[in-house]
Amino acid sequence: MPGGSGRTFIPLLAHEQLPALTGKQPLFRSAPPLSLYVHVPWCVQKCPYCDFNSHALPTGGNGRTAAVPESDYLAALIADLESALPLVWGRRIDSVFFGGGTPSLLSGEGVDQLLAALRSRLRFLPGAEITLEANPGTVEAAKFAAFRAAGINRLSLGVQSFERRHLQALGRIHDDRQARRAIEIAASHFDNFNVDLMYGLPGQTPAEALADLATALSFSPPHLSCYQLTIEPNTAFAARPPNLPDADSCADMQDAIEARLAVAGYRHYEISAFAKAEKHCRHNLNYWQFGDYLGIGAGAHSKLTLHDRVLRQMRWKGPEQYLARAASGAPVQEEFAVAAADLPFEFMLNALRLIDGFDPQLFESRTAQPLLAIETTLRQAEQEGLLERHQLRIAASDHGRRFLNRLLQRFLVEHD
């Protein structure tokens, strides 16, 4: 998910059939909040752990990395948005997130042009959160200033570590000095920014993980995303697995990180997200609350609630293919309505990542189904110690968050 959140791998295994009530056609009384996601698919080089839709820019005979085809891509993004407008007419945009890839490869002028085009076609919430992901190896002070002037009001820095050998193992293009400098520049231009850190890195000790955290905290970032390195299918690390710390060491790192951040005054509000007061990521929170999002750009995904269905879309993934398809008015490669019986699982996949869980009324409004539809499953998960129910909240227990895959499998539905 964009924003640097940690990802939990959910095996696509059938588990149990929910009550027949969930098979009815949903009827939504109102649409949830709507966010906009803009995907920039290029990177200077592909990191070996990354399974996102990112593509390394080619290098020429002089060894220099080619530039992003910015003007063509901006035109494609605008054409993409215009083709999607009938699905979101009249709806307000609560947040915008530029993810990737490496959005900081765009110029400040390009981001300014694109945001002006977006605002002229969509109704933005006054004070909408507008985040851009940045790689510390692709930024300088002038570019951060240009992003801020263009309307970006939140930055997310993919630092991952401050230890040079760990950065090299992760294939990052920046070093520890550039990481520190990027945070200093970000803090001088933005009062709201996030720092991404990873733990469980090849050869990393718990002490080294805490040293990375201490360095990050020395800059007092408003938001931190701390997530464990996982080996994802179809990545370079999957083909050639590195020597990672064992599960017990990673659990020790997680416990120590959470404890240290609590002492430092950060609220742990999602499995991998920690924020100072009022500095949670509003865009990602909308995802976790099963809100709607329109995704434009190569490989971007959308989830849109219509009167009688939840629609999912995926754009063409290859940048060249996307450019051609968007120009012809057909940027969407795949589109389908989510089966009513699958909506409880999709809701839980997101909402159970939240430390405080969710209000039962949110489940009913986002899925158009009564909580009774999953009562048996909720009770079983509670009896197993995976779930807790409070007055107006349902949340994963501490044990359930550690074994989130097991908890979520309870809500999977068998299909013929």
Q: What is the mean pLDDT of residues 152-173?
A: 95
| Mean pLDDT estimate for the chain | 91
Phi/psi for 56 (5° steps) reads: -70, 135
CB atoms within 10 A of CB 277: 9
What structural domains and CATH numbers belong to the chain? 1-28+340-416 (no CATH), 31-286 (3.20.20.70)
What distance in Å separates the CA atoms of residue 381 and residue 300, rounded to the nearest whole number? 33
* Range of lowest pLDDT (9-13, 229-233, 330-334): 9-13
Q: What is the mean pLDDT of residues 200-207?
A: 96
Nearest to 411 by CA among 12, 33, 77: 12
Contact yes or no for 235/49 (Cβ under 8 A): yes
Predicted local distance difference test score (pLDDT) of residue 309:
95
| Structure tokens, 385 | 């110690």
pTM as predicted: 0.92
pLDDT at 21 over 50: no
Contact yes or no for 295/39 (Cβ under 8 A): yes
Contact yes or no for 8/405 (Cβ under 8 A): yes
pLDDT at 293 over 50: yes
What distance in Å separates the CA atoms of residue 291 and residue 150, rounded to the nearest whole number? 26
Per-residue model confidence as pLDDT tens digits over 379-402: 999 999 999 998 889 999 999 999
What distance in Å separates the CA atoms of residue 369 and residue 154, rounded to the nearest whole number? 35
CA distances from 367 to 14, 17, 198 (A): 20, 17, 33
Higher pLDDT, 391 or 339: 339
Predicted local distance difference test score (pLDDT) of residue 64:
77
What distance in Å separates the CA atoms of residue 373 and residue 18, rounded to the nearest whole number? 7
Predicted local distance difference test score (pLDDT) of residue 16:
31
Per-residue model confidence as pLDDT tens digits over 142-156: 999 999 999 999 999
Nearest to 224 by CA among 239, 214, 234: 214
Location of structure tokens 């500095």: 279
Phi/psi for 9 (5° steps) reads: -75, 125
CA distances from 383 to 18, 352, 359, 372, 375 (A): 18, 17, 20, 17, 12
Predicted local distance difference test score (pLDDT) of residue 58:
85
pLDDT at 2 over 70: no
Bridge partners of 197?
A: 160, 226
In the chain, the percentage of residues whose pLDDT exceeds 70 is 92
In the chain, the percentage of residues whose pLDDT exceeds 90 is 87
